[in-house]
Chains A and B, each alone.
Chain A
Amino acid sequence: MTAVYPVAPRIGIAPALLAGKAVLTGPRLRQLRPVILPLATAAAVLLVWQIVVTGLRVPAVILPPPIAIGHELWRVLPVLLHHAVPTTLDTLMAFFTASALGVGLAIAIAYSPFLRDMIYPNLVLFQLIPKVALAPLFVVWLGIGSGSRVAFAAFVSFFPVVISAVVGFANIEASALRLCRSLTGSEWQCFAMVRFPFALPAIFSGMKIAMTMAVIGVIISEFISAQAGLGFYILYASSRMETALIFAALLVLCVIGVALFGAVALAEELVHRSYGRR
Chain B
Amino acid sequence: MPVVERERYVEVAEVSKVFRAGTAGAIEAVSSVSFTLPRGQFVAVLGPSGCGKSTLLMMLGGLEAVTSGHIAVGGAPMTGPRTSIGIMFQDPTLLPWKSALDNVLFPLRVLKRPLDTYRSGAQLLLERVGLDGFMHKKPHELSGGMRQRVAICRTLVYDPELLLMDEPFSALDAITRDEMNELLLDLWQQYTKTALFVTHSIREAVFLADRVLVMTRRPSTIVEDLTIPFARPRSMVLGESREFNEICGHLRGRIEQSHNRPNGHRAETTLARPELVG
Contacts and interface: CB of A to CB of B under 8 A. Distances in A.
Nearest to A179: B93
Interface in A34-57: none
Contacts, number: 52
A184 B107 CA distance: 9
A86 B275 CA distance: 55
Given A179-B89, A179-B93, A278 B138 contact: yes
Q: Find the residue from A182, A185, A189, A276 having the highest chain B CB count within 10 A.
A: A182
B63 A275 contact: no
B83 interface: yes
Nearest to A177: B93
A102 interface: no
Interface string A255-278: 000000000000000000011111
B231 interface: no
Interface string B53-80: 0000000011100000000000000001
B110 A275 contact: no
Nearest to A186: B110
Interface string B90-113: 110101110000000011011100
A178 B89 contact: yes
B97 A276 contact: yes
A181 B65 CA distance: 14
A175 B278 CA distance: 14
**Looking at chain A's contact residues, is the secondary structure mostly helix, strand, loop, or mixed?**
helix
Interface in A187-240: 189, 193-194, 197
B83 A194 contact: no
A277 to B, nearest CB: 4
Nearest to B90: A175
B93 A176 contact: yes
**Looking at chain B's contact residues, is the secondary structure mostly helix, strand, loop, or mixed?**
loop
Interface residues on B, range: 20 to 34
A7 B109 CA distance: 60
Nearest to A201: B97
B81 A182 contact: yes
A183 B63 contact: no
Contact of B83 (A179, A183, A193, A278): A183
A272 B80 CA distance: 35
B208 interface: no
Given A179-B93, A184-B80, 8 more contacts: A173-B93, A176-B95, A182-B62, A182-B85, A184-B111, A193-B110, A194-B95, A278-B140
29 contacts: A173-B93, A175-B89, A178-B89, A178-B93, A179-B93, A180-B110, A181-B81, A182-B61, A182-B62, A182-B81, A182-B85, A182-B87, A183-B83, A183-B107, A184-B80, A184-B82, A184-B83, A185-B110, A193-B110, A194-B95, A197-B95, A197-B97, A274-B97, A276-B96, A276-B97, A277-B96, A277-B140, A278-B96, A278-B138
